[in-house]
Amino acid sequence: MAWNEPGGGSRDPWGGGSQGGGSGPPDLDVILRRLRDRARKVLGGRLPGGVPGGVLGFGALGLGAVLIWLLTGIYIVDAGYRGVEMTFGRHTLTTQPGPHWHWPRPIGTVEQVNVQRRRVAEVGYQSVQGSGSRAVADEALMITRDENIADVRIAAQYRVSDPARYLYNFRMPERSLKQVAESAVREVIGKRELDFVLTEGRTEVAQRTRELLQQVMNEYRTGLEVVEVAVQDIQPPEEVQPAFEDAIRAREDKQRKINQARAYAEELLPRARGQAARIVEQAKGYRERTVSRARGDAQRFEALLAEYRESPAVMRQRLYLETMEEVLGRVSKITLDSQSSQSLMYLPLDRLLERQKSSDSLQPNRTGSQQNPGVSGSSRDAITPTQRAREALRERGER
């Protein structure tokens, strides 16, 4: 309701009625007089220097308003935040956590930015609160170098590194970062084959995507720092997953067979190398033995030759006997042809040896006073058949 509204009564905020019976606006002189009276009461009934009371009252009110306005410029920056001060629309200072003062509005403004919290840009999927995530096919499906399609989902974690650039140097920096992340991962996937991406290439894809993303963010001067790029999932499209699973199993079987073959080769090759080394050493030993034997035979032949030159008849007889001894030592039966008209003499050496062995086994052991078998009357029987054959050969040679 207005102050001068009919029927409103006295609406003077200073407690008095209006001049002219309350039908007009309040008189300015009355208002100034009342302000002066109140100032006199505050100052003890006197005004300094004869200054008009109205001017002094307005000055005190203005000074109080200015002080209150200046006090509104005090602000506190929380931990993990940075304060960005703007004066007449221009960035002047970035403050650290703690209390600060800056010109209040409309001269200056202060905005606080969280530089510690990690933000996440999702590519290929979208998190849904309470129900996990849902796929975004337009972002997830990418083509590889071998013209296959892969369903790729990554999460780029970033934070604000320069609050002033983040606020005022780039419009919608977070949205731009997500679009650049999608472009970077498409470039990385497009330069690699599907098998590599599905198996051992996940780490390389994440690292290369982070490098490209950070490079573009620095060129755009967005004030954002890419902390990490995590590959959430890389798989073929759902329509062809059974075929890819069969191919993966076949690849694993192939690798297992290769590993088994390598293990067999690692087991067989050392054994073959050992056998080869043993054969080589045996051959070397055989060579040394044969050469040594040949040298010994040559030396023995030379010694026999010297003796033969001194007494040929004796050496012929000796060589003959030694040869016959060596030859007859390997046979069990001997037949002798005498020069007389007598019949052939047959010596069954095998039976004679068996008989000799049986007689030796049946002869009891004697202890104490026992005659010497070397001088006994049966010394003739102690001669072996081989020795008898040698004696017969000697007699024949003497004849």
Lowest mean pLDDT: which of 51-65, 135-149, 151-165, 169-183? 51-65
Mean pLDDT computed over every residue of the chain: 78
> What three-state secondary structure class fits 95?
strand
pLDDT of residue 389: 58
Q: State the Cα torsion 283-287-288-293 to the nearest 10°.
A: 140
The answer to whether residue 137 scores a pLDDT higher than 60 is yes
pLDDT digits (tens, 9 = 90+) for 94-108: 999 999 998 888 899
CA distance 74 to 101: 4
pLDDT digits (tens, 9 = 90+) for 196-205: 888 888 999 9
Distances (CA, A) of 228 to 89, 154, 160, 201, 203: 34, 10, 13, 17, 12
Does 264 share its domain with 287? Answer: yes
In a domain, 188, yes or no: yes
pLDDT of residue 14: 45
In a domain, 209, yes or no: yes
Q: Report whether 34 contacts 14 (CB < 8 A).
A: yes
> Where is the domain boundary, 15, 45, 71?
71
In a domain, 105, yes or no: yes
Count Cα neighbours of 319 within 13 Å in the Cβ-side half-sphere.
13
Q: Please give the average per-residue pLDDT across 48-72, as a whole number.
A: 71
Domain that residue 101 falls in:
74-114
> What three-state secondary structure class fits 1?
coil
CA distance 302 to 269: 49
Distances (CA, A) of 380 to 359, 369, 373, 391: 14, 22, 10, 12
In a domain, 365, yes or no: no
> Where is the domain boundary, 292, 310, 328?
310
pLDDT of residue 384: 55
pLDDT digits (tens, 9 = 90+) for 388-397: 656 665 665 5
CA distance 273 to 257: 24
> What three-state secondary structure class fits 155?
strand
Say what percent of the chain tops pLDDT 90. 34
pLDDT digits (tens, 9 = 90+) for 324-344: 888 877 776 666 665 655 555
What pTM was estimated for this model as a whole? 0.51
Q: Please give the average per-residue pLDDT across 114-125, as a whole number.
A: 92
pLDDT of residue 375: 39
pLDDT band (50, 70, 90) for residue 15 = very low
In a domain, 6, yes or no: yes
